[in-house]
Amino acid sequence: MTTSIEISREDRVAVIRFNRPAQLNALNAQLAAEIVAAVETLDADKNVGALVITGSERAFAAGADIAEMVGKSAEQMIEENFFGIWDRFANSRLPKIAAVNGYALGGGCELMMMCDFAIAGENAKFGQPEIKLGVIAGMGGTQRMTKQIGRALSMDLHLTGRMMGAQEALRAGLVARVVPDAEVVATAMDAAAEIAGYSRPATRLAREAVMKAEELSLHEGILYERALFHRLFGTHDQREGMTAFVEKRPPNFQGNR
């Protein structure tokens, strides 16, 4: 069976590239199973510090595979908990960067939002066009997008189905950076390598603290952050990082080994 993804490694950075070019990397059940299995394996590998997820020049992922869903009934969708597998991807503790060229629509946009941040090419396009098919987002799009860019703009995209260009996405906070199309993957790789070079416990708890900010009040969030901050003082990497700073030398983190 042809795999739907390609996996490679560069030092402590892993790369997953979608491999369904004829379908513009539409997300089907096979791809979902393969990427979730890969991410869970990489998450458990202490020699991997960050992950870059990307597609092709034409499309990061142009949506979910409609051909796979068109004949299903409501009972089947409920019984299968369709799209539920993606919760496992979102819950991975591995820092994940989406490197986006071309279309990131529907499920592709939702998958991008499950990553920790996205770096987009100048010609990237984003949107949630499910309304044009008589349905709504089902992988978390209405929830994550609203938390990221606010109610008004999220409503605009979900109710009209329009596409958003890269610069609008940057202004809205949907993506973190916009770079020339040819530099997207390299920029994401550089960011991932920088993250992977830091303390593994610290990067994981930084992710956890930022994610909790979307759920907790400011007071609760500050207390949660402080508890994680205190917890890191039980690690070798905290002692090494601060000692190295005082001694004016590069740190030798061990938590990422």
SS3 237: helix
- Has 208 been annotated as catalytic? no
- Provide Rg for the chain, Cα atoms: 19
Q: How far is CA 166 from CA 125, 127, 243, in A?
A: 6, 11, 42
From the candidates 50, 110, 192, 202, give the one annotated as an active-site residue: 110
**CA–CA gap between residue 171 and residue 209 (Å, rounded):** 24
Residue 224 DSSP SS3:
helix
Residue 247 has phi, psi (to 5 degrees) of: -85, 0
Residue 61 is a catalytic residue: no
For residues 156-174, one letter each, b for 16 or more C-beta atoms within 10 angstroms of the residue's C-beta and e for the rest, the string is ebbeebebbbbeebbebeb
Is the distance from CB of 68 to CB of 25 less than 8 angstroms? no
Instruction: Give me 29's structure tokens.
Output: 């059940």
Which residues make beta-bridge pairs with 27? 64
Look at residues 139, 173, 167 and name the one whose alpha carbon lies nearest to residue 154. Answer: 173
Letter for the amino acid at 89? F
To the query of whether residue 110 is one of the catalytic residues in this protein, the response is: yes
Single out the catalytic residue among 50, 61, 62, 64: 64
Tell me if residue 130 is catalytic: yes
> At residue 37, what are phi and psi to the nearest 5 degrees?
-60, -45
Query: What's the CA gap between 18 and 226, in Å, rounded?
Result: 38
Is there a contact between 208 and 244 (Cβ–Cβ < 8 Å)?
no
- Could you identify the residue written with the tokens 């390598």? 193
Q: Which amino acids are annotated catalytic?
A: 64, 107, 110, 130
